[in-house]
Amino acid sequence: MKLSTILELLEDSKENLTDEIIDSVLKSENDVEYDVGFHLGVKTVIQNEQVKEAVGSLSYLIGEKEEKHYSEWYGVENPNDIPTEELEEHAYRSIRILVDIFGA
C-alpha cells in the first residue's frame, strides 16, 4: 500500500473520530470496541505525526540558537556530540529530549 493511500486513510479516520465517540463506545457493553481501539490507534499516529512536525519546527527555529547558548554557557565546543542524557539542564537539552522522543 502506498504511503499516500495510508495517509488518506488516516485523514479520513481523523475526520470521523472524536474523543466523545471514543468515550461513548469504550463505556458501552457492545462488541464493536475493537473498532474504537483501531481508530484510537490511528488517532494516536496522527497526533504523534503532528507533535513530530511541531518539534521539528521548534528545533529548526530555536535549536541552533539554544545550542550556541548552551555551548557558551557551559563552555563546551560542540554540544551536539554530547549524549542527551549527559547534557546539563538547559532549553537545548529540552529540545534534544523532544527530538529524541519524537524523531523530528
List pLDDT tens digits, range 75-101.
999 999 999 999 999 999 999 998 888
Q: Which 3 state secondary structure label does DSSP give 25? A: helix
pLDDT given for residue 42 in this prediction:
65
Residue length of the chain: 104
Residues in CB range of 95: below 8 A, 6 or more apart: 58, 59, 62, 63, 66
Distance CA 76, CA 70 (A): 8
Report whether 78 contacts 71 (CB < 8 A).
Answer: yes
What does the pLDDT read at residue 90? 94
| Whole-number Cα distances in Å, 68 to 47, 81, 88, 90 | 31, 13, 14, 12
pTM of the predicted model as reported, rounded to 2 decimal places: 0.56
Q: What is the pLDDT of residue 77?
A: 92
Regions of the chain short of the pLDDT cut 50:
1
- State the residue for C-alpha cell 556530540: 81
The DSSP 8-state label assigned to residue 29 in this structure reads -
